[in-house]
Amino acid sequence: MAALEIARIAAIAITTSEGEETTTLRVEKMNSQWTVAQRGGYPADTDRIEGLIKNLMAMKILRRVPAGKSQLGRLHLSEPGTGETAATRIEFFAADGKSIKIVHLGKELSAPGGEGNTSAFDGGNFPDRRFVMLDAKPANAAVVDQTFSNANAAPADWINRTDFFDIKNVLTLAVDYSGTETTNSWKLARENTATNWTLVAAREGEALDQ
């Protein structure tokens, strides 16, 4: 993975599964900006994406575990959609759509006899390593020193929330209902940001809590 050229990566697909149902997240570079395909091209969290790439490139192999195809399930490195032993699959694509690299993330592990990793909740150890497989080749299976716990396929986790809502100096705020609920509509207004809000067209008995 250290040889992976970041500049060549134009899209990333992360596929997870539950039983036989698979879910795929796709982030793509559009005009040099990372976007989330499942959110209509909304800007993605660049730090999260680049962090995942850099962690994959920096991961260290702790132990090689060359396995036969029939043994992949035991390592949770089976293809997504194959049940409880399925891996999380990460695939990198170039601008021309060709696959650059495939990584399968398998079962998470704890350091044998590791001190300082004891969980206060169940007495076990926190996972700090994981089985991985490169390029879908069982002979390339290994245990690495990271878990990549944030590599999921939930689009909401990958959007850029920094400026998700950046609304300032609001002077009017309205909620409009339609149909039989139109009487529930309301509108607030104020002269400037230093004055209190008032309820516009307030009916008898209506008052605004300040």
Q: Is the pTM of this model over 0.95?
A: no
One domain for residues 115 and 193 = no
Asked if pLDDT for residue 114 goes beyond 60, the answer is: no
One domain for residues 143 and 201 = no
Residue 142 lies in a domain: yes
Report percent pLDDT > 90 for the chain. Answer: 65
Positive or negative torsion for Cα 78, 82, 85, 90: positive
Residue 162 lies in a domain: no
For 183, the domain range is 167-205
Residue 105 lies in a domain: yes
* Radius of gyration of the CA atoms of the chain, in A: 25
One domain for residues 59 and 137 = yes
Let me know: does 91 contact 102? Beta carbons within 8 Å: yes
Q: How many domains does the chain divide into?
A: 2
pLDDT digits (tens, 9 = 90+) for 167-192: 778 889 898 888 888 888 888 899 99
